[in-house]
Amino acid sequence: MHMLTKLPYAYDALEPHIDARTMEIHHTKHHQTYVDKLNAALEKYPQLQSLSAVELIADLSRIPEDIRTAVRNNGGGHANHEMFFTMLGPNFDGRPTPGVLAAAIDADFGDFEQFQRKFAATALAHFASGWAWLSADAEGKLLIETTPGHDSPVMVGRKPILVLDLWEHAYYLKHQNRRADSIAAWWNVLNWEIAERNFAQ
């Protein structure tokens, strides 16, 4: 049975960067719905119920065809939101902590500012709903990518390092159509310590 992720901070803790109302609706309505629909899809397949959402979407070929799309959308929705919410918090300074990830960003993108500009431009250019990612390939090379719907780099064997929700429900109440403003605000509440841990794994 999949459960809604408990957040390690209050809904208003990310103000003014992400507003409390958006956080509450995003978590209790949007994320909860993906969890509920994933559980419903898995109801008649007990052998799949012990797998995590990430494990389910990482190899969709083993998911029975009648629930494959539901698992892709709702398993992806659950896994991506869990990662997204877990990587946020108050009191961060918007910059990666010194370490292997910060060094890899400098090596692969020039410096942090160039990385940040490229990430924001890629996220801004993504058409319609989806997610923006910093991910690592099997050799540990970093790349910035976006995925449609609730797809994830794990579906093509890449390791997600950090993730940004590009669906309008993630920012519309506060920023309306201004996705660029919501991206700029997000850096301020991003927990780079978790990104560092994701990369080190």
Please report, as a single letter, which amino acid is at residue 144.
Answer: I
Smallest distance, Å, CB 80 to Mn ion? Answer: 8
Look-up of token digits 């801004």: 124
Residue 85 sits in the site that holds Mn ion (CB under 5 A) = no
Residue 82 sits in the site that holds Mn ion (CB under 5 A) = no
Please identify, using beta-carbon distances, which residue of 31 and 199 lies nearer to Mn ion. 31
Q: Are strands 142-148 and 130-136 parallel, antiparallel or unpaired?
A: antiparallel
The DSSP element (H or E) to which 117 belongs, if any, is: helix 112-125
Residue 186 sits in the site that holds Mn ion (CB under 5 A) = no
The DSSP secondary structure of 22-80, one letter per residue, reads HHHHIIIIIIHHHHHHHHHHHTT-GGGTTS-HHHHHHTGGGS-HHHHHHIIIIIHHHHH
In the bound state, the residue with its beta carbon closest to Mn ion is 165
Binders of Mn ion among residues 165 to 184 (CB under 5 A) are: 165, 167, 170
Residue 133 sits in the site that holds Mn ion (CB under 5 A) = no
Smallest distance, Å, CB 49 to Mn ion? Answer: 24
Residue 131 sits in the site that holds Mn ion (CB under 5 A) = no
Q: Is 4 helix (H, G, I), strand (E, B) or coil?
A: coil
The DSSP element (H or E) to which 143 belongs, if any, is: strand 142-148
Please identify, using beta-carbon distances, which residue of 165 and 196 lies nearer to Mn ion. 165
Smallest distance, Å, CB 34 to Mn ion? Answer: 9
Smallest distance, Å, CB 184 to Mn ion? Answer: 18
Smallest distance, Å, CB 128 to Mn ion? Answer: 13
